[in-house]
Amino acid sequence: MAQGIKILYEGGVGELEEKKSRFIATTLPISSQEEALEFIEKTKKQYWDARHNCFAYVLGDHHEIQRFSDDGEPGGTAGKPMLDVLLGENIHNMAVVVTRYFGGTLLGTGGLVRAYSGAVKEGLSNSVILEKQQGRQLLLQTNYSDLGKIQYLLLGNSIPILSEDYGADVCFEVLVPIDMEKNITELLIDGTNGRIEIIQSEILDFAVHKKEVLLL
């Protein structure tokens, strides 16, 4: 299946401890800077008694917007390493806040970078990350003699089936990744000797999670 972009679908919380300092990472999907800033402020209020609440967020299909803050930690030891994790994982449209409860021992520059980076990775490991793609919705209509062939082609190419209707004819509503549309259409026409009717519909953003098609 065609590759899309990685997005945070569901946020999560991860934690690590380094020399008695606690680092708590909270992640959230965002669609605007306003949402990011609201999330950051809400998290700061939740952890009002913490020493630091550092953040990073990215927006846009090409990471057009990138922001971060060390929130009082030495420059370059928190926000930027956190942002680097998001960019390194190539995740889009998400924010993360790492809350630090100071444990009494200084970690040094390298220790802080590792701790904040590691906390973000923990947060991501407890989040749901999906691949967002664009697909063309197609309505396929054919007779029962071609049913097995169509099912074989759809399954073999991992094409999501949105709905099925078994009446006088067989109708499938499917979602084909945009860059596969021409190839899949040709396979279906050739496989049924032109008997299949294919009706094009709208282009949708979608992802697959636990074998379920999610329209985004």
82 and 23, same structural domain? Answer: yes
179 and 95, same structural domain? Answer: no
Task: Answer with the one of 126, 151, 184 that is the final residue of a domain.
Answer: 126
Per the prediction, the chain carries an average pLDDT of: 93
118 and 13, same structural domain? Answer: yes
117 and 204, same structural domain? Answer: no
Q: How far is CA 214 from CA 1, 98, 116, 138, 174, in A?
A: 15, 29, 32, 16, 13
Structural domain containing residue 210: 133-215
55 and 96, same structural domain? Answer: yes
Enter the pTM of the model.
0.82
CA distance 214 to 4: 14
At 2, is the pLDDT very low, low, confident or very high (cuts 50, 70, 90)? Answer: very low
> How many domains would you assign to the chain?
2
Task: Answer with the one of 76, 103, 126 that is the final residue of a domain.
Answer: 126
Write down the pLDDT at residue 3: 59
Q: How far is CA 204 from CA 13, 17, 43, 213, in A?
A: 30, 42, 33, 11
83 and 12, same structural domain? Answer: yes
Task: Answer with the one of 102, 126, 150 that is the final residue of a domain.
Answer: 126
100 and 15, same structural domain? Answer: yes
110 and 164, same structural domain? Answer: no
Report whether pLDDT(97) > 90. yes
Write down the pLDDT at residue 211: 80
70 and 12, same structural domain? Answer: yes
143 and 119, same structural domain? Answer: no
152 and 112, same structural domain? Answer: no
